[in-house]
Structure 1
C-alpha cells in the first residue's frame, strides 16, 4: 500500500498549514481512498549523529566478536568534573561495517525506538554501554541491508557530532499509508493522490505529469527499439510505448541526495544507488515504472517479444527462472536479433545488464506494457514487484517521456552526467476511448437528481473532455489517459457519485414487493429441519467434497451408482476431489470427528445437495468472453449440469436417552432412524411405504428398511449400519442412520391443501387386537391389512407390542394393535366393535396369514 509523506505530497498540491496525517486521511476517504495506518514519529528522544573515535575488537567466549567503541556525541557527550560535555561515550556494538572516523547514528539513553524499545545504559560484555549504534531496521526504516547506518559525508555535508538524527532521517514526519482499490492504479503515486486530494478539498493541484514543450522529441539516432509481439494477449499487443534516453559520464558511485534517500525510506523502499534510486523515486512520484541499464552491456536494437520454449533469465533478485511462452520480454541483439533476454517486461530486469559502480553510460527505459501480460507474468513467477503492481492496474501511457526526462535530470544533477540528445520514442498508443452517456444516467443509476453542471463539471474535473450532443441530452466523454478504468457509462456515473459525495445519496429503504412468500419446497425444508431439531437431532453442515476412499470405508460395491461422481478441476484437497453423491458420506465423516473428540452420544442431521452425474454425459461447452452466449450455448450448458437433488440424512449413536437418577436411559436403535424418516415424510406431506431390504451399503443386511413412495419409487433407506463400517469409522456399536431424497418427497406430496374432516361428537370405542404371523412377515404389511379391514370406523391404529417366544411358537411373532373406533352419526354398539374386529382379523388372515392370538 502507498505511503504518503505530507511534505512530498505538498509539492504537487497546496496543503493547508498544520495539516496532520489524520486530517489527510479524512479528506482522502471522502473520495474513496481508505486509511490503512498512520505512521507517526517512529523514534523519540536523543537520537543523534556520533563520530567513532576508537574501535577495539573483543572476542567473546561464545565465539562472537564485539566492538568497544568510544564515540563523540558533541553536546551529548558525558560531562566532565566541571559539567562540560567533553568526555566521549562508550558503546558496545556487534556490527562490523564501520571504522574509526565514520559518522554513525546512535540512540542515547532515554531514546525510544519502534517496538517500543526504550534505550538505557546497561552493562554488557564487561562494559557499560551508554547507548546503541543503530541500523535501518532498528529505526523502523525497513530492512536496509547488513550493519548499522554509516552517513556519507558527501551526502550529509555539514553534519556534525551531536546533530539531531531524527530530523536528518525524516523520522519525525508523519506518513499516511492508504489502501488503493485495484481499479485506481493511478493512486500508486504522489501525482495521483495529490489529484484526489484536490478533488476532495478543492486545493490547487499542479500536474507534474503533463508533457511540456521542452521535452525532446524522437531523433533518428535514438537507441533502436522494436516490438515483435506475435502472440498478443486478448488481441492487444504487449507494448505500445517505449521511450529510451541516454545519460553519459555518470558517476555510478555517487550517492543519492539525502532528501531522496529519506523519501524512499519513508515510502518503504531501500536506497541502493543513484541510478536505481532515481528510477524508483520518479516511479513513486509520477506512477511510471522505469529501468536503468548499463549502456555498455547492450547491443542494439532492443526487441520486445514473447518468450520461446526453453529460455531462462537470472533476474535482479538472483533467481534463475524458466520462462513461459506467455511472458513478455525485453531483449537485445547480442548473439542475434533479440537473442539475449534482458528482463521480464514490466516486472523485473535481469542481472546481466544492471547498473554497477563501474557504469559510466546509462540507458533509461520508460515504457507502457499490457496490464494483463504483466499481471500473468508476475503471478506465474511469484514476483509482485513495485513495477508490476502499477502496470497491472494501469499506467498512463502518455507519461513515459515525462518520467524519462525526470530521471535524466536527476542523473545529470546528482551524478555529474550529460544528457545525450539521442532519443527514441516508439509510440503506438491508441486514441483515447470516447464513452457515450446520457446526461440523465447518473440520476437513473444513483437515484439522486444531479444537475447538468454537477455531471459535466465532475467529469471535466477528473480530466475528461465532454461534448454535449445538442438537445438529445447525450454526452460524448473522452476519458483521460491516466484513467484506463473508465470504460463505460457506469464507471463515469460512479465518478459523479464519488466526487459529488456519497453522503449526498439518501438512505432509502426499498419497499418490499408483494409476493407469495416461501415456496412449497422452502416451507417443507424448514418444517423438516424444525421437526428433526424438535425430535432431538442437531443440524450440521459439511463440505460436499469427497473421495473414493470414503466410499471404500462405507463398503460400497464397485458397481454402485453412488461411485459415479463429478470430479473437480481445481479441488481444495487432492484426497477429496469429487462432489458427493450421497449425503451420508460427509455426515458420517462429521460423526466420526465428533466421536474422536469425545462426543460419543450423537444425534445429527443434515439437509444438503448431492450431485448425480450421468456417465458419458456431454461436457459443457466453453463460453465466449466479452459477449452474451447464444441460446443454444446456454441450453448446452444447462443440459450438461448434472441433477442436484436435496437430501436429508441423519446419524444416531450411543445413548439417545442418557442414564441418570431418572432411569437407565436408552440406546439409539433402528426404530429411531425409521421414526425420523417417518417424521420427515410427515413434514414433507408425502405418504411412504416402508419395507425391509436385504443389502444396501453401508447398512447391515436384514436391518435396513427401504423407503418407497406409494407408486413404488425408492426414495431412501434407514436402519443399523454394518458392523464393519462402524469399526472402520470408529463409531459406537450399533450406530444407526438414514438418508432420503427430500425433493422427491416434496414432489410426491399433494399440491392441494388437505381438507380437514368432520370432528365427531360421539364417544370413542377402544379395541385391542393381537395377531400371530410368521416371523418374516413385515409389521407394515400386517398394519396395512388391519387398517384396510377395519374400514371407515377406524380413527386411529397403533402397533404397541411385538412378542416372540414359546407361547406363540417357533418362527412366529405376535403383533398387538390398538384400534380406536368412532362414528360420525351415532354411538357405536358392542355389535359394531365386534364387527370391526372380525373384519380386521379376516383381512389380516387373508393377506398375511395372520391368526388371532389366544
Structure 2
C-alpha cells in the first residue's frame, strides 16, 4: 500500500512537525510494516521553477526532426529577470502556457546535471521538463503543462507537482484489509498519536427510494449489500484534476479517464471498490446471481472467459455483464461517448472473490480488497463520494433515485475477561486500559464486572476471538513494552537416544565424503514416472495436498530420491559432475490418513492431554524417517598419484553398510530387482536375524537404471540408496560392549572358491563365517576373477580368513581345521569348489 503523507494528514490531525520517518516507524509498530519511503523530489537539486512560455518558434532540422526555440519567463529565478532561451523537442505546448523549467545548475533524477549548452544552433539555458524526467511517471512524449493560474513565473515548482511530498510504502498483511485504504491508514495514525480522525465515510447520504435503477439479488450470501446511484450529463472528455491524478500516481496507479480515476480514487480513499457502468448500455434490472453452466463473459481486459457455476456475476436482461467484485464486462464499459454512469458499490463474499480471482487468474486492485474483506457498512457513503466527484469535475447531475438492496451483516460479539491481555502478554495492562484501547480501534465494549462483551468494528473481519482482542490491545500498548524474562532452564538431560543416533549417522556419511542436503517433500505423478515405478508400486500411493504450492507437485512424497536426483542434476548442470549427496527426512505414506478420519482441532489455551495427542497422531498419515543418498562421477579423483575410480553400485551399498556399522546393526545383503535401480546391480538390504539370515527389509542400494539417469539428467551409471532410517535405528542396541582384544598372534589363511556367477558373494561369506567357528576373527573378499580358467558362468572369489584365540597361540592344525570347516560348509551351502 502506497499512502501519501499529505493524504493521511487530510484525515488525521497529526503534529505539524512530525517527520515521515517518525510516522512510518509508529505505523510499523502497529503492524503496518514499512517497506520504503518515496520522495521523488529528493533526487532533484537546484532551481526547478514555473516558467511561462513567451514564444515558441518551430525549426525543422536536416535530420527530419523539428525542434522549438523558446523564450521562457522564469521571473527572477535566473538572477537577471530576463527571459530564458531554451530548446525543446516536445510540441504539446504553446506560447502563454505554464511549464516546469529546470535551470542551469539543477540536477534531475539519475544524476542528470543541467547546464547551458549549445545545441541546434542555439545556447539552451535549461530544460522544459516532462513527467518522466522528473521521476513522476513514464510519459516522455510531452512536457508538463500546468493549468492556467497554477503559479507565477519563477515560483518553486516542487509544491505544485507534489515533489515535496513523501509517500509511505507499507507491507499489509492479508488480515489487515482495512489498511489498503487511506481511511484505514489514517485511522491507525490518529489512534497511535491520540489525535482526531476525520472519517471520509462519515457523510450524510440520501435515503434509498424506489426511483433508483432496479436491482435484484438472488444470492444474498454472496452479495449482502448492493448500492446503485446514477449520474447523467457526464462529460467523458473532462480532464482529471491535477491533484487527483497526482495522488493516484503517488499511490501507484496511473490516470486513465475522469470516470475511472474517480472510482479508483474513492477505492484508495475508503477501501471500498467501486464499478461504473455505461447506464445507456444496460437493459432492464441489474441482478446478482451465480453463473449458469456454459455461460461466458468478455471482461474489460478483452478476455473471453468460461464461467464457473461458483462465480458471482452481475447481470441485466441481456445476460452476464460482469464478474461481481472482480472485473466488469466489456459490453457495458464506459467510453468517450458515455453520458450516464451507473455507480455500483456492493459488498461481496470474500471467499467467493478469492476463488473467482484464482480461477480466472485475475489480479486487480478491487479483487485484492474484496477477497480480504471490506467494511460492508460504507457502500452508500462510497457511492455518494463517487457521485459527488463526478458532479464536481465531470459536469454531471446526480439523478434523484437511490437503490440500496440488502443490509450489512451483523457483527458477532466476543466475550473476554478484562484481565486477559495482561495475563497473555505479561504486561501490566489495567482492565480500564484494555477497554480504552479496544474502543480506540473501533470496538464497541460493554462491561459487566470483570467480563467484557466486545463487538468488533465492521472493517475488521479478522477479529473473531478473545486472543485477537488481546493482540489489538498489545499492539497499542506497544510490543516493545513486553517484558524480557529469561526462562528458568531445567536440568539438562542431554540428547535423546534418537538424537544421538541421528548425529552418528550424519557424521558417518560426512566421513564417507557425502554432503547433506534438504529437498522439498512435494512431488507430482511425473516424478514417479521418471523413477520408472510400475503402476502397482506402493510408492505411487501419494497423499494429495489441499492447497499445494505448485499444481505440478501436489503430493507429499513417498521417497526421497526425486528431490536428491533433482539436486544431483542441478550440480551436474553447473559443472559438478562428481558429487555425492545424502538426506535424512520423513516421507508420507497415506495408508493411515485414509482411515484416520478428520483431524481434530483443539484449543490453544491449554496443553493438549496425552489422549488428545494420541487422537491427533491417529489421524495423521504414517511418516517414517528415511535415509537416501545419490552419487555420480568419480569416487576417487585421478591425479599425479595415479588413476581415479568411478563410482559404482558397491559405493552406495558401502555407505549404507557404514551407517549400519556405526549403529552396530548387522546387515544381510541379497540381490534384488526393484525400480529405479538397474535389475542386475541392485541389492536389498535386510537386518540380520538371530540366525544370521535375512530379517526385516530396510531398503535398497545400487546403480540406477539407465533410463532413470536419462530422465533425471544425471550422469550415466549414477548410484543411489534408500533405507528406512527409523527401522534401522530401532535395531540399534541400547548399549554396546567394548570389544575384547587378544594379545596372541594372528593366523592367516587365504582361500579361493569357484561358484556359479549367480551365487551372491554375501552367501559365500556367510557360509565361511559360520563354518569357521569361534576362532574366526574376520573374513574379507580381496579378489574376484572371471575367465577361461574357471569356466563360463563361474566366478572365483578369494577371501582372506584371519584366526585368533583369546587364550593361546593357534597351532597350524587348528587353523587348517577351521579353514577346512569353512570351505566345507561353503561347498555344502553354495556348491563352492576350492581352487
State the TM-score, normalized to the length of structure 1: 0.81
Q: How do residues 2-41 of structure 1 correspond to structure 2 at under 5 angstroms?
A: 2-6=2-6, 8-41=7-40
Alpha-carbon distance, 1:689 to partner: 1.9
Match of 2:102 in 1: 107
2: CA distance between counterparts of 1:804 and 1:274? 90
Equivalent pair of 1:699/1:719 in contact (CA under 8 Å): yes
1: CA distance between counterparts of 2:218 and 2:767? 87
2: CA distance between counterparts of 1:355 and 1:852? 96
Q: Kindly tell me: are residues 652 and 741 of structure 1, through their superposed partners in 2, closer, same or farther at Cα, counting changes over 3 Å?
A: farther
Equivalent pair of 1:260/1:281 in contact (CA under 8 Å): yes
Q: How do residues 443-842 of structure 1 correspond to structure 2 at under 5 angstroms?
A: 443-470=422-449, 473-511=450-488, 520-542=497-519, 561=537, 564=540, 566=542, 583=560, 587=564, 590-591=567-568, 593-595=570-572, 597-609=574-586, 641=621, 646-651=626-631, 653-656=633-636, 658-661=638-641, 664=643, 668=647, 671-691=650-670, 693=671, 705-711=683-689, 712=694, 713-719=696-702, 737-750=720-733, 752-756=734-738, 759=740, 763-776=743-756, 780-794=762-776, 796-799=777-780, 801-802=782-783, 813=796, 815-823=798-806, 827-829=807-809, 834-835=813-814, 837-842=816-821
Task: Give a deviation string over 1:668-704, Cα, whole Å, max 9, x none.
Answer: 555544432321221233211234x375666666665
Work out whether 1:200 is the aligned partner of 2:192. yes
Q: Kindly tell me: are residues 293 and 773 of structure 1, through their superposed partners in 2, closer, same or farther at Cα, counting changes over 3 Å?
A: closer
1:184 aligns with one of 161, 173, 176: 176
Alpha-carbon distance, 1:342 to partner: 4.3
Q: Give the number of equivalent residue pairs.
A: 812
Task: Give a deviation string over 1:176-235, Cα, whole Å, max 9, x none.
Answer: 2222222222222332222211221212323342355xx332233233322122xxxxxx
Alpha-carbon distance, 1:68 to partner: 2.0
Alpha-carbon distance, 1:499 to partner: 0.7
Q: Kindly tell me: are residues 319 and 161 of structure 1, through their superposed partners in 2, closer, same or farther at Cα, counting changes over 3 Å?
A: farther
Equivalent pair of 1:772/1:813 in contact (CA under 8 Å): yes
Alpha-carbon distance, 1:489 to partner: 1.3
Task: Give a deviation string over 1:485-522, Cα, whole Å, max 9, x none.
Answer: 21221211110111111112123344566797655444
1: CA distance between counterparts of 2:302 and 2:137? 20
Q: Kindly tell me: are residues 341 and 100 of structure 1, through their superposed partners in 2, closer, same or farther at Cα, counting changes over 3 Å?
A: farther
Q: Kindly tell me: are residues 382 and 106 of structure 1, through their superposed partners in 2, closer, same or farther at Cα, counting changes over 3 Å?
A: farther
Work out whether 1:89 is the aligned partner of 2:65. no
Match of 1:225 in 2: 215
SS of structure 1 residue aligned to 2:224: strand
Q: Kindly tell me: are residues 307 and 698 of structure 1, through their superposed partners in 2, closer, same or farther at Cα, counting changes over 3 Å?
A: closer
Q: Kindly tell me: are residues 125 and 733 of structure 1, through their superposed partners in 2, closer, same or farther at Cα, counting changes over 3 Å?
A: same
Q: Kindly tell me: are residues 173 and 787 of structure 1, through their superposed partners in 2, closer, same or farther at Cα, counting changes over 3 Å?
A: closer
Equivalent pair of 1:688/1:709 in contact (CA under 8 Å): yes
5+ unaligned residues in a row in structure 1: which ranges?
230-235
5+ unaligned residues in a row in structure 2: which ranges?
604-610
Work out whether 1:48 is the aligned partner of 2:40. no
Between 32-41 and 695-704, the greater mean CA deviation after superposition: 695-704
Equivalent pair of 1:525/1:684 in contact (CA under 8 Å): no
Q: Kindly tell me: are residues 134 and 384 of structure 1, through their superposed partners in 2, closer, same or farther at Cα, counting changes over 3 Å?
A: farther
Equivalent pair of 1:52/1:69 in contact (CA under 8 Å): no
Alpha-carbon distance, 1:477 to partner: 0.7
2: CA distance between counterparts of 1:360 and 1:550? 58
1: CA distance between counterparts of 2:495 and 2:287? 64
2: CA distance between counterparts of 1:482 and 1:550? 46
Q: Kindly tell me: are residues 802 and 253 of structure 1, through their superposed partners in 2, closer, same or farther at Cα, counting changes over 3 Å?
A: closer
2: CA distance between counterparts of 1:780 and 1:29? 67
1: CA distance between counterparts of 2:717 and 2:387? 83
Equivalent pair of 1:48/1:164 in contact (CA under 8 Å): yes
SS of structure 2 residue aligned to 1:765: coil
Q: Kindly tell me: are residues 584 and 248 of structure 1, through their superposed partners in 2, closer, same or farther at Cα, counting changes over 3 Å?
A: closer
Work out whether 1:209 is the aligned partner of 2:187. no
Match of 1:168 in 2: 160
Q: CA RMSD in A?
A: 4.4
Q: How do residues 262-341 of structure 1 correspond to structure 2 at under 5 angstroms?
A: 262-317=246-301, 321-332=305-316, 336=317, 339-341=318-320
Equivalent pair of 2:685/2:700 in contact (CA under 8 Å): yes
Q: Kindly tell me: are residues 303 and 538 of structure 1, through their superposed partners in 2, closer, same or farther at Cα, counting changes over 3 Å?
A: closer
Between 176-185 and 276-285, the greater mean CA deviation after superposition: 276-285
Match of 2:606 in 1: none
Q: Kindly tell me: are residues 437 and 822 of structure 1, through their superposed partners in 2, closer, same or farther at Cα, counting changes over 3 Å?
A: same
Task: Give a deviation string over 1:761-784, Cα, whole Å, max 9, x none.
Answer: x63232112334324465544544
SS of structure 2 residue aligned to 1:15: coil
SS of structure 2 residue aligned to 1:138: helix
Alpha-carbon distance, 1:573 to partner: 8.1
Match of 2:129 in 1: 134
Alpha-carbon distance, 1:531 to partner: 0.7
SS of structure 2 residue aligned to 1:181: coil
Q: Kindly tell me: are residues 838 and 210 of structure 1, through their superposed partners in 2, closer, same or farther at Cα, counting changes over 3 Å?
A: same
SS of structure 2 residue aligned to 1:75: coil
1: CA distance between counterparts of 2:633 and 2:382? 72
Equivalent pair of 2:52/2:73 in contact (CA under 8 Å): yes
Q: Kindly tell me: are residues 319 and 704 of structure 1, through their superposed partners in 2, closer, same or farther at Cα, counting changes over 3 Å?
A: closer
Equivalent pair of 1:841/1:852 in contact (CA under 8 Å): no
Task: Give a deviation string over 1:75-123, Cα, whole Å, max 9, x none.
Answer: 27989xxx6514x523231x44445554443434333333343334445
Alpha-carbon distance, 1:585 to partner: 5.9
Match of 2:418 in 1: 439
Between 844-853 and 379-388, the greater mean CA deviation after superposition: 844-853
Equivalent pair of 2:632/2:647 in contact (CA under 8 Å): yes
Between 634-643 and 116-125, the greater mean CA deviation after superposition: 634-643
State the TM-score, normalized to the length of structure 2: 0.83
Alpha-carbon distance, 1:534 to partner: 1.0
